[in-house]
Amino acid sequence: MATRAAGSHVSAWRPAVAGVTEVFHAHFVDHAYPLHTHDVWTLLIVDDGAVHFDLDRHHHGALRTSVTLLPPYVAHDGRSATPDGFRKRVLYLDTTALDAELVGRAVDRPDLADPQLRHRVHRLHEVLAAPGDEFEADSRLALILDRLRQRLRLNSPAGAQPAARSLATRLRELLDARTVEGVTLREAAELLHAHPTHLVRTFTHVHGLPPHSYLIGRRVELARRLLLAGQRPAEVAAATGFFDQAHLTRHFRRHLGVSPARYGSPR
């Protein structure tokens, strides 16, 4: 599907290729992504302009000459580094596409200056532009994943203390399980046997954003998948835990720069 809104152009679809959960092409002039996470790997190339982003509280840039890989469940934002905005192409890859042990390395150095890898990603996007060449797409994706593994096979940086990371992970898993119905902070604290303030501080320290922002992001991620599956925005709002369609639209536009209705338009 394609959409135009306030200086932006977005196309998004779900290809029939195992491991690719979504293809996302966008041109943004003045849209800035808020801090958010994905539950998938984000493989990004920039075609015009440049992007500034913070990943796990460290500043980075995505350039036309590089490939950017953002790991699942790590907070990041994004904004144009040039006055004319930026144009990007993104592949969202299932968590099974790359080993979990590579997350730390991707956090440490998300930008890969690798012309061969960038060309492979570019060619895969060309193949995915129309149905019918799924076997070629599978083959090209396999080569890309192999190249990514080669580049990321280094020691991961040290992370948070095990106890803090365990508590943050358990809260994240609770929010994932209760994405639609939600959970109060007091209930989460009781379930996880932690003080509410400590729970919020620990989650924010480990994941880079507070629990409520994470939950909104998860609902937006679920909403975009339901929209791609053909559901109406009003139905999606009810199915993803938002109060109503207006509530969904406000957060969806903030995250993606377009409304749910436009996101769900045919290509």
Residue 169 lies in a domain: yes
pLDDT of res. 9: 87
Task: Give pLDDT < 50 ranges for the chain.
Answer: 2-6, 155-158, 266-267
Find residue 128's DSSP bridge partners: none
pLDDT of res. 1: 52
CATH code for position 196: 1.10.10.60
Give the predicted TM-score (pTM) of the model: 0.76
Residue 145 lies in a domain: yes
Domain boundary among 89, 119, 152: 152
If asked whether residues 236 and 124 sit together in one domain, one would say no
Residue 157 lies in a domain: no
pLDDT of res. 4: 42
Residue 20 lies in a domain: yes
pLDDT of res. 248: 95
Domain boundary among 128, 152, 176: 152
pLDDT of res. 61: 86
Residue 180 lies in a domain: yes
If asked whether residues 127 and 228 sit together in one domain, one would say no
The pLDDT tens digits of the residues spanning 132-148 come to 889 899 999 988 998 99
Residue labelled with tokens 């629990």: 211
The pLDDT tens digits of the residues spanning 24-78 come to 999 999 899 999 999 999 999 999 999 999 998 889 988 888 999 999 999 999 9
Is residue 110 within 8 A of residue 68, CB to CB? The reply is: yes
pLDDT of res. 5: 42
pLDDT of res. 159: 54
pLDDT of res. 97: 92
- Give the whole-angstrom CA distance, residue 17 versus residue 190: 42
Within 13 Å of residue 75, how many CA atoms lie on the same side as its CB? Answer: 22
If asked whether residues 141 and 168 sit together in one domain, one would say no
In the chain, the number of structural domains is: 2
Within 13 Å of residue 47, how many CA atoms lie on the same side as its CB? Answer: 11
3-state secondary structure of 67: strand
If asked whether residues 118 and 207 sit together in one domain, one would say no
CATH code for position 108: 2.60.120.10
In the chain, which residue ranges form alpha helices assigned H by DSSP? 103-108, 115-128, 134-152, 162-177, 185-192, 196-207, 211-228, 233-239, 245-256, 260-263
Range of the domain at 256: 162-263
If asked whether residues 167 and 148 sit together in one domain, one would say no
- 19, 43, 97, 102, 155 from 145: Cα distances, Å: 10, 10, 7, 12, 18
If asked whether residues 7 and 75 sit together in one domain, one would say yes
pLDDT of res. 218: 95
If asked whether residues 10 and 29 sit together in one domain, one would say yes
Please give the structure tokens belonging to residue 11: 């196309």
Residue 197 lies in a domain: yes
If asked whether residues 100 and 81 sit together in one domain, one would say yes
If asked whether residues 108 and 205 sit together in one domain, one would say no
Domain boundary among 152, 181, 215: 152
If asked whether residues 111 and 63 sit together in one domain, one would say yes
Residue 35 lies in a domain: yes
